[in-house]
Structure 1
Amino acid sequence: MNNKKDKKSRENDLAPSEKVEGALRGAKRFIPRQMFSFFQPTYHYLLSIFAALWYKFPARDLIVIAVTGTKGKSTTVELLLHLLRAGGLKVAGASTVRFTIDKKEERNLYKMTLPGRFFLQRFLYNAKLAGCTHAVIEITSESVSQYRHKWLFLNALVFTNLSPEHIESHGSYEKYIEAKLDIARELEHSKKGNRVIVVNGDDNESQKFLSLSIPRKLNFELDDTRPFALESTHARATIFGKPITFPLPGEFNILNALGASMTAKEFGVSEETIRKALSEFEGVKGRVERVIQDGVSVPFDVIVDYAHTPDSLEKLYRAFPGQRKVCVLGNTGGGRDKWKRALMGGIAGYYCDEIILTNEDPYDEDPLTIVVEMATGIKKKKYEILMDRRLAIREALKRAGQGDIVLISGKGTDPYIMGAKGTKEPWDDATVVREELTRLASL
């Protein structure tokens, strides 16, 4: 593809409001860094309110459900969209995985959950024009510093869980928690009626969310779903007093399903409809995604997952207790959260039978340095370093045998491998797996 032509085409497609944001970003280059840092909060706030004004505050006319937490946000968004649609509602959704307005969808290629403020407000405006009544929005802590969570006039918030992440950008875990609470305070201060917060009561920080002045507070816990059973391809759990089976492995996915179910019920979807829809759910791309290639049969399983924090990586590995694990590990990007590198290597060393360390998103950091720092956490297991991510996946598939599971973590649906000076290599873990499975079958 001609990159210059493609860029020009995208520029021509921009709304006038986004061109304003682009012009302001260009002007930043001529402002001294210290001066801009001082005025940065004002800059972001003004952009945020200008975007909402330009599109006439579309969230006022929608029922807006936000989902936040460290892990499980995208899966919960996808579950909620599925359940609300099953209930006959016309919905829109924005997440790290994709953007959907009714039956139209677009893969999220931005390498961020919430793109520019203008994008989100235009998205909500277009959802309103399309006749959607509900919007489900994934909100991250990093979007708070740029006020991307403002002017959403929330009706509901689902809180999934909290564990350390983005510590270097926030300054501390306490400030990270505060950023998440700022999202909940948007619900607290929303003028809409019938507001509800749905909170994972098993999380250590749950009371901070439940203590806010929100009219309706719902608490869900794993014990609510007992008796439950976990298999490598699905989970069996009790939802609203009756047992169901749905194709999402792991205790964490039972909690995601329960949080989404309780929220959907709040907006009029019946318990029977929710249970039926859960049993028919097809999963989420890049989130414990089981990858197969048509026409290729192998005696092992392959899973692609976004797990990029120590807690999420451990829960991914624990979701498959009975299988020999061949792990491709590359889930610590450059320039951030260096504290977790050795820790994640240690988790792989504890749970995995074979470990291949590889590249993920080095940005401006030396990629080999990142991987070596991960390796320092592996104490008693042998490991191999293959910096070419494709070759690492190829080697893992070659090593897998009868009944094994290949676990490829860190990128999920990320569309690029990000390199130095803004370079990016188009990428998709699941696509590469399928290509390599075809190659393996031809040998």
Structure 2
Amino acid sequence: MKILKDILYKVPVNGVFGDTNIQVNEIHFDSRKISENDVFIALKGVTVDGHDFIDKALSNNAVAVVCEKVPEERKQGVTYVEVSDSSEALAMMSSNYYDNPSKKIKLVGVTGTNGKTTITTLLYQLFMNLGRRVGLLSTVKIMINNSEFKATHTTPDSLTINKYLSQMVEEGVEYCFMEVSSHGIHQNRTLGLDFVGGVFTNLSHDHLDYHSTFAEYRDVKKRFFDQLSKDAFALTNIDDKNGTVMVQNTKAKKQTYALKTLGDFKAKILEKSFSGSLLTINGTEVWSKLIGDFNVYNVLAIYGVAELLGIEKLDVLRGVSGLDSVSGRFQYVVSPEKITAIVDYAHTPDALKNVLETINNIRTGNENVITVVGCGGDRDKTKRPKMAHIASQLSNQTIFTSDNPRTEDPQIIIDEMEAGVSPENYKKTLSILDRKQAIKTAYKLADSGDIILIAGKGHENYQEINGERRHFDDLEEIKMCFN
């Protein structure tokens, strides 16, 4: 049991009705999980307001309620704590409840539009290979040393984050690498966490269904670096025009990485192929199995973080050369007919452009590039025509298909994509609603030596249609075409 006033440490409180010197069991923001002596935190969500469920929490015997607006009629024996921002209170209370686990671990956050999953996952892989005890909080999965847990969000809620961090501390984890999304920052999920470092990858068009403007999206990302302490490091991609913006107000030690300009961590590409890239990093030659310029940035970020965490340079270089690609990130297979199929998570205009430019830079020019791509439903609509324009411009043939339509009509999504196709590229495009059939068609259109890119879903092994998730795996589908 915990004492309520201890859990409220550092929470900005506007008023208290009742006694905070009481024992409490657990804290929850879901009224359905409340049981006797629990604390209910009423969160204002995007679609649901937790204040509407205070009575439900009380009927489940909550002993205290934390809320932005205290009910006029208050239940006898219940403590009400009024705060200005419930999400901020949840973050601070979660850290306090689990005894501030982030202070007992070297926690590094990675934010940006593209590259978060690759960087965090490969940092986890690198440090595990170096014999360290490591944790991972990513879009794909959560890892505590060798134990795997299912991930539900890019950045989980504050309670979940602290629960896993606490478990990591119990199991002797030294380092944890965590994806930090704009949603997570905006909803205060990372508030109260003690990061030893932060990494900025890049910023491009995404999530404008949630953030009203690109400037707001940028400023939310920047807030993560504003909150870093003077003892932390802030590693930023200086080649990205927003790289300096991110760290301009940070108290952390500023470090940079770059391919095109001078940086603390600098790389040069000597050779590139579908088997990997030969690079120099700060003047030392190293081979990487990762493919494409965008992955060289990821390698640089990984190298920089490892050095900043005190790992010897030669150990880092040896470790980097052994890193394998992340599931669904430029993952490729070759058919018996020598057709190369690439599955990639590219679901933003910039990511799709990067992948297609990488393919076009590596191929000899005699092969055709066939791209299968869709856009998700109930998400940022403004990127749909841009994605279609890029795909049709940089491919010999493009097939528009369903991604995760969710509650939207998939045909309308495709129609909105097609609006971005330039007239000279119309003849190079097809529309096939059924993703399975689209992949089959791409394979039938391909000849020996051709390259098929299946973009947008990557590691996902489902398709979400009208609230139902049905098993669907792009890699499985293309491999079935080989038989």
Residue 29 of structure 1: CA displacement? 8.9
Q: Is 2:467 aligned against 1:425? A: no
How far has the Cα of 1:391 moved from its partner? 1.4
Identity among equivalent positions (%) equals 28
Deviation at 1:83, TM superposition (A): 2.6
Q: Check conservation: 1:94, 1:138, Cα contact below 8 A.
A: yes
CA distance in 2, matches of 1:427, 1:45: 37
The answer on 1:134 being equivalent to 2:175 is yes
Q: 1:52 to 1:352 in 2, by over 3 A?
A: same
1:177 to 218, 227, 239: 218
The answer on whether the counterparts of 2:205 and 2:383 sit within 8 Å (CA) in structure 1 is no
Unmatched 5+ residue regions in structure 1?
1-14
CA contact (8 A) 1:141 1:180 kept: yes
CA-to-aligned-CA distance 1:280-332 (integer Å, 9 cap, x gap): 1111001111146xxx63411111111111111011001111242111111x2
Choose which of 204, 208, 220 in structure 2 pairs with 1:167. 208
Structure with higher Rg: it is: 2
Distance change >3 Å, CA 415–CA 114, structure 1 → 2? farther
Q: Which residue of structure 1 aligns with residue 156 of structure 2? A: 115
- Answer yes or no: is 1:304 the counterpart of 2:361: no
Match of 2:445 in 1: 399
- Measured after TM superposition, the shift of residue 59 of structure 1 is 0.6
Shift of 1:182: 1.0
- Secondary structure of the 2:127 match is helix
Task: Tell me the secondary structure at the aligned position of residue 395 of structure 1.
Answer: helix
1:327 matches 2:364:
no
Distance 1:306 1:172, change over 3 A: same
Q: Does 1:53 align with 2:90?
A: no
Cα distance change of structure 1 residues 396 and 346 upon mapping to structure 2, 3 Å threshold: same
CA contact (8 A) 1:87 1:268 kept: no
Offset from partner CA, 1:90-149 (integer Å, 9 cap, x none)? 1101111221111222353x2x21233222111111111111011110000011222111
Query: More displaced, 130-139 or 223-232?
Result: 223-232
TM-score (norm 1): 0.86
Show the counterpart of 2:62: none
In the TM superposition, residue 82 of structure 1 has moved relative to its aligned partner by 2.5
Would you say the 8 A contact 2:290–2:325 is kept in 1?
yes
Q: Give the 3 Å change call, closer, same or farther, for CA 265–59 of structure 1 in structure 2.
A: same
Change (3 A) 1:418 1:29: farther
What letter matches 1:141 in structure 2? S
Aligned twin of 2:243: 206
Task: Give secondary structure in 1 for the equivalent of 2:199.
Answer: strand
AA at the equivalent of 1:199: T
Alpha-carbon distance between aligned partners in 2 of 1:227 and 1:235, rounded to the nearest angstrom: 7
Structure 1 residues 42 and 282: alpha-carbon distance in aligned structure 2, compared to 1, 3 A threshold: same
Name the amino acid aligned to 2:355.
Answer: L
Whether the 8 Å contact between 2:106 and 2:174 is mirrored in structure 1 is: yes
Q: Which amino acid aligns with 2:306?
A: A
Any residues of structure 2 matched to 1:27-426 within 5 Å, and which?
Answer: 28=50, 30=52, 42-108=85-151, 110=152, 112-187=153-228, 190=229, 193=231, 195-223=232-260, 224-291=266-333, 297-321=336-360, 322=363, 323-330=367-374, 332-379=375-422, 380=425, 381-420=427-466, 422-426=467-471
Question: What's the offset of the Cα at 1:16?
Answer: 5.5
Q: Deviations over 1:157-184 (max 9, x none)?
A: 0110111211121110110011101111
**Counterpart of 2:359 in 1: which secondary structure?**
coil
Q: Decide whether the 8 Å contact of 1:302 with 1:406 is kept in 2.
A: yes
Q: Select between 276-285 and 377-386 the one with higher mean Cα deviation.
A: 377-386
SS in 2 for 1:326: strand
CA distance in 2, matches of 1:227, 1:86: 25
Counterpart CA distance in 2 for 1:426 and 1:165 is 26
Instruction: Give, in angstroms, the shift of residue 394 of structure 1.
Output: 1.6
Shift of 1:41: 7.7
Report the CA distance between 1:28 and its aligned residue.
3.8
Does the C-alpha gap of structure 1 residues 19 and 162 become closer, same or farther in structure 2, counting only changes over 3 Å? closer
Q: How many residues align?
A: 409
Q: Which residue identity does 1:301 align to in structure 2?
A: T
Aligned equivalents of 1:31, 1:18: Cα separation in 2: 12
Q: TM-score, normalised by structure 2?
A: 0.79
Residues 199-247 of structure 1 deviation map (CA, whole Å, 9 limit, x = unaligned): 1010001111232343421111114212432212311110232111111
Q: 1:41 to 1:414 in 2, by over 3 A?
A: farther
Q: C-alpha separation between the residues in 1 aligned to 2:478 and 2:181? A: 29
- Tell me the equivalent position of 1:12: none
Distance 1:345 1:213 in 2: 37
How far residue 427 of structure 1 moved from its aligned partner, in angstroms, is: 2.7
Closer, same or farther: CA 406–106 of 1 in aligned 2, 3 Å: farther
Structure 2 unaligned spans of 5+: 1-24, 34-41, 55-66, 70-82, 261-265
CA distance in 2, matches of 1:225, 1:239: 4
Distance 2:189 2:381 in 1: 26
CA-atom RMSD, angstroms? 2.5
Classify 1:291/1:105 alpha carbon distance in 2 versus 1 (closer, same or farther; 3 Å).
farther
Q: What is the one-letter code of the residue matched to 2:445? A: R
- Structure 1 pair 55/433, CA: closer, same or farther in 2 (3 Å)? farther
Q: Is the 8 A contact 2:134 2:144 kept in 1?
A: yes
Q: Per residue, is there more strand in 1 or in 2?
A: 2
Instruction: State how far apart, in whole Å, the 2-side matches of 1:360 and 1:273 are.
Output: 41
In structure 2, the CA distance between the partners of 1:62 and 1:248, relative to structure 1 (3 Å rule), is same
Provide the C-alpha distance between the structure 2 equivalents of 1:186 and 1:43, rounded to a whole number of angstroms.
19
